[in-house]
Structure 1
Amino acid sequence: MKKIGKTILVLVLFIIVLLFVYAKTDKSPDEDTISDQLKNWKSNSEVFQFQQFNISYFDTKDASKEVILLLHGYPTSSFDWSLLWDDLKKDYRLVAVDMLGFGLSDKPSNHNYSIALQADLQEAVLKNLHIKRFHILAHDYGDNVAQEMIARFMESGSKYPFEIRSATLLNGGLFPETHKPTKVQSLLASPVGGLISPLVNQSLFENSFKKVFAERSLPSKQDLIDQWYLICQNEGNRINHKLVHASRDRIINKDRWKNTLVQKRIPILFINGLQDPVTGKETVELYRKIVSNPKLVTLDSIGHFPQLEAPKVVQKYLVMFLNDPEIISGE
């Protein structure tokens, strides 16, 4: 029996070494392979210093317009908002930050990537830009950052230095009990996440990423290259296990963040693609139970990324909501 156990252990170690070598030889996409859209997006990036780290952000800078703060999800970046950007900036000032560990921002390997930290980052950028009043548009991981900011607004009262005028949330882990991470995310969040993270290569990423989209709106090969390129910037593909901190934060802040959804001071619109295997129908069902008279839009044939799968639809309901928060009802 001991001999069999040793054989299995050696075999497992051998497979891990092979996978590690494979991951090392799996090159990140070159600049020449990314789309013109991403090249243009990168060219508009600005840099802000936060805790001695370089943070990439995007700002349309029209101080005469109302501000929308856009919060991206995991494991992607502010580039997720690019399909909405040109139309929304006609009427709103847009600010989007690549959170620490994401996109074009720095990705320190030994850091605690908590949701509280990412909320601190958003507040620091807003303060630097002298913005005090804003709406929020968030997705996925960004929903939790929005919940943390709303919780601070509720708890601090007039002492909170910002006024959150509204929040629009797209598919996200609002409740830990209905959040179903992908197999790769589960492995990254496990005790062996540090070993798994460097093994995630482009092929594995693409296969996992496509599974959260609806069949009718799958990302193109170019879309996948662009997303993987952004993940790999500053060796971000080596720290994916650090970025799944949100799963623990959701449990720790379960009641506190739930209260942000039922409060009445800040209007909240929830837009959810029902074909999402991560935060789909069960999240909507629980949201309906918890939130009375919810402002809710469900998209039957859309998956986890409504802003990429149906940007015009998202824009339509967002603008309706911003113009009149009472116009939308989920009942």
Structure 2
Amino acid sequence: MREYTIRGTNHKIRYNDFPGALTPIIFIHGLGCAGSFDYVEVISHMQSKHRIILIDLLGAGYSDKPSSFDYTIDSHVKYLKEFVDDLNLEEIIVFGHSLGGAIAIELCHLLKNRIKALILSESNLDPSSHNSASFEIANLSENNFDKIFKRKLTEYETLGNTMWVATLKNWLPKAALGISKNAVHGGKISWRQLLYQFEFPKYFIFGEKSLPDADLKKLKEHDVTIEIVSHAGHSMAWENPAGLAQAIKKCL
């Protein structure tokens, strides 16, 4: 694992950097997750010649968790752009899962001339709805939020979401709250509209268990190529890592 110090701060994000001769793929994880937790097994199945970079976002996984950071999507995107610049990556492929997909879309908007392709897996495209974890977390009381968040973790674990809880426990509660509130409000420019406007290749991966989904047809109508991972739902990296790996390879 490597670390990168965000410009103008002492805050460090940590990331895995697997060598390869082909275009680097940057993986951006979703709410409560971590690149180091979600994608190591996936990339082992890919057997790819691409350089692959798995990031733990600030506030998550092995990265620093400063209380002074605001944890909005804009702020995550800002340091990720600087990260790409400082690694001298001239061309990249971006992968984003769930709420990490919103970060990926905004990052591609800033770096559009350097993007070879965008691959999304069940990404947020619109403001979060009532049945989403981000909507639930965003609406928790901010009075004694840390204690309320800890109780919510116990509730999620009781419901059987043990893999997600295992990594969500490593998030700074403020980080989960900040990005969740942003998810509810949506992007300054609609993530969906940005996706539709991109001229580079765009892919969207569904888990079979998440279907039917009205977005499947809508995305196809806007030149987004669809891939489906069998025997998996939203948490496809854990439910069928080999299947997700094959879906990603089809996008390369």
Structure 2 equivalent of residue 206 of structure 1: 157
- Residue of structure 2 aligned with 1:120, choices 70, 74, 78: 78
**Identity over aligned pairs, percent:** 18
Determine the structure 2 residue equivalent to 1:186: 135
Which structure dedicates a bigger proportion of its chain to helix? Answer: 1
CA distance in 1, matches of 2:29, 2:219: 25
Distance 1:96 1:189, change over 3 A: same
Q: Which structure has the larger Rg?
A: 1
1:259 aligns with 2:199: no
User: Which stretches of structure 1, 4 residues or longer, exceed 6 Å deviation after superposition?
Assistant: none
Candidates 225, 230, 233, aligned match of 2:170: 230
Q: Aligned partners of 2:128 and 2:27: how far apart in 1?
A: 25
> What is the TM-score normalised by the length of structure 2?
0.84
2:235 to 305, 313, 323: 305
Matched, 1:271 2:201: no
8 Å Cα contact 1:198-1:238 kept in structure 2: no
- Aligned-pair CA distance for 1:140: 0.9
CA distance in 1, matches of 2:229, 2:130: 18
1:172, 1:181 → 2: CA distance?
12
Change (3 A) 1:193 1:119: same
Task: State the shift of 1:268 in Å.
Answer: 0.9
CA distance in 1, matches of 2:48, 2:220: 32
Q: Which has a greater percent of strand?
A: 2
Instruction: Give the C-alpha shift of residue 82 in structure 1.
Output: 1.6
TM-score with structure 1 length normalisation? 0.66
Q: Deviations over 1:185-244 (max 9, x none)?
A: 43431261353443333522424672xxxxxxxxxx6x467425533xxxx246532331
- Aligned residue pairs, count: 246
Unmatched 5+ residue regions in structure 2?
Answer: none
Structure 2: distance between partners of 1:94 and 1:179: 34
Change (3 A) 1:315 1:67: same
RMSD, matched Cα:
2.7
- The separation in 2 between residues aligned to 1:172 and 1:314, in whole angstroms, is 14
One-letter amino acid of the structure 1 residue matched with residue 127 of structure 2: P
Looking at structure 1, the residues matched to 246 and 80 of structure 2 have their Cα atoms a distance apart, in angstroms, of: 26
In 1, Cα distance between the equivalents of 2:157 and 2:39? 19
- Which one of 160, 164, 183 corresponds to residue 247 of structure 1? 183
- Counterpart AA for 1:47: E
Q: Deviation of residue 150 (structure 1)?
A: 2.2
Structure 1 residue 59, shift from structure 2 partner? 0.7
Query: CA separation in 1, counterparts of 2:230 and 2:48?
Result: 29
Preserved CA contact (<8 Å) 2:70 2:178 = yes
Alpha-carbon distance, 1:113 to partner = 1.0
Counterpart CA distance in 1 for 2:193 and 2:164 is 36
Shift of 1:262: 1.8
In the superposition, relative to structure 1, how do residues 141 and 209 fare at CA in structure 2: closer, same or farther (>3 Å)? farther
Task: Return the offset for 1:97.
Answer: 1.4
Q: What letter is aligned with 1:244?
A: S
The question of whether the paired residues in 1 share the 8 Å contact of 2:228 and 2:247 is answered with no
Contact 2:116-2:200 within 8 A present in 1 as well: yes
Q: Secondary structure at the match of 1:230?
A: coil
Check whether the contact 1:262–1:291 (CA below 8 A) recurs between aligned residues: no
Change beyond 3 A, Cα 1:209–1:181 = farther
Match of 1:72 among 4, 29, 33: 29
Judged with a 3 Å threshold, the aligned counterparts in structure 2 of structure 1 residues 89 and 68 are, in CA distance, closer, same or farther, namely farther
Q: 1:142 to 1:209 in 2, by over 3 A?
A: farther
SS of the aligned residue for 1:272 comes to strand
Query: Could you report, residue by residue, the CA deviation over 1:254-290 in whole angstroms, capped at 9, with x for unpaired residues?
Result: 2xx22232235211111112534xxx64xx4135225
CA distance change for structure 1 residues 122 and 197 in 2, over 3 Å: closer, same or farther? same
Distance 1:243 1:264, change over 3 A: closer
Distance apart, 1:72 and its partner CA:
0.5
